[in-house]
Amino acid sequence: MSQVCFCQKFLKEHEGVLAHPTAIAVFTDDGLQLPKAFSANGMELSDDLDHRTIGLHKITLLNEFSDGDRLTISIRALRQLTQFTSRLPGRKLILWISPGFPLASGPGVSGLTPQFEQAIFGDVKYFSGELRENNITLYNINPVGTGQSTFSENYYKNFVKGITKPDQAQLADLSVQVLSAQTGGLALVSNNDVEGMIQECLADANSWYEISFDPPPADKPNQYHQIDIRFDQPGLFARTRNGYYSNIAPFGPPR
């Protein structure tokens, strides 16, 4: 069963009455197809999905590094999706259902120029600030399922810790898995039940709380501040944003 079928099954549950206003954006070779509005009518959203062309066909995983096309349109699509989602007040969730961006980092990958490192660092800061200021939590649902190798599915974890300067930047720092973990969301892998993974992400919308604090003044531009929340009871942990850049979001305390 395709990921589209799993999505439609989710949309049609409970006679199509959705618990939260929902919008479906479709990612194709030509870019992101954004919806006009949010809706709580799952039947209408499912019918709309029936008439969409889904997925990348000309730009595939086999040629993802050709001119950087796959990465370029992926970053552009996430920017558009963030801007679209920010229109709603309150807390928002973005569920990105795909294997994600190329993780072209590490051994065997040629070094990046200082200009490229600066560009990646700029995008990392942008998404950190935009997702936080607009109260958006990102989730990655990987539909590849159990066929993905353990190394491949866990590789992103090497980049979850925030970077503090441009010469630390690698392409994987912009992967949707890393950005999801950094916003307090989930990167779900090794599961063929896409509908179940959607439900797991949406459970966060029904159970969460907010902690804020007054951030310390920045000593220098682009200063990165790590956030670490600890409990006095063993075995408990907080899944939350793991840091922020002080010069990106100076208009309110981190959430």
User: Going residue by residue through the chain (255 aa), what tens digit of pLDDT does each one get?
Assistant: 456 776 888 899 989 999 999 999 998 877 889 988 899 999 999 998 888 776 555 555 444 444 456 778 889 999 999 999 998 899 999 999 988 776 666 544 557 899 999 999 999 999 999 999 999 999 999 888 777 666 677 889 999 999 999 999 998 999 999 999 999 999 998 888 888 999 999 998 888 888 888 888 878 778 899 998 888 999 888 889 999 998 644 444 444
Question: Is residue 252 one of the residues assigned to a domain?
Answer: no
Name the residue range of residue 51's domain: 3-245
Give the per-residue pLDDT at 64.
45
CB 43 within 8 A of CB 142: no
Pairing of strands 136-141, 187-188: parallel
Burial class (CB in 10 A: 0-12, 13-18, 19+), 230: exposed
Residue of 52, 56, 58 lying closest to 23 (CA atoms) = 52
Count of other CB atoms within 10 angstroms of residue 1 = 11
Instruction: Extract the tokens encoding 68.
Output: 């950087």
Identify the CATH number of the domain in which residue 13 sits.
Answer: 3.40.50
Question: Is residue 48 one of the residues assigned to a domain?
Answer: yes
Question: Is residue 148 one of the residues assigned to a domain?
Answer: yes
Question: Is residue 254 one of the residues assigned to a domain?
Answer: no
Question: Is residue 250 one of the residues assigned to a domain?
Answer: no
Q: For 71, which DSSP code?
A: H
Alpha-carbon distance 144 to 214, whole Å?
Answer: 41
Question: Is residue 165 one of the residues assigned to a domain?
Answer: yes
Beta partners for residue 244, in sequence order: 225
Residue of 143, 144, 159 lying closest to 109 (CA atoms) = 159
CB 24 within 8 A of CB 49: yes
Question: Is residue 84 one of the residues assigned to a domain?
Answer: yes
Q: Which residue has the tokens 């889904």?
A: 54
Question: Is residue 255 one of the residues assigned to a domain?
Answer: no
What's the number of domains the chain is made of? 1
Count of other CB atoms within 10 angstroms of residue 118 = 15
Q: Angle at the Cα of 35 (from 32 to 36), degrees rounded to 5?
A: 135
Give the per-residue pLDDT at 66.
47
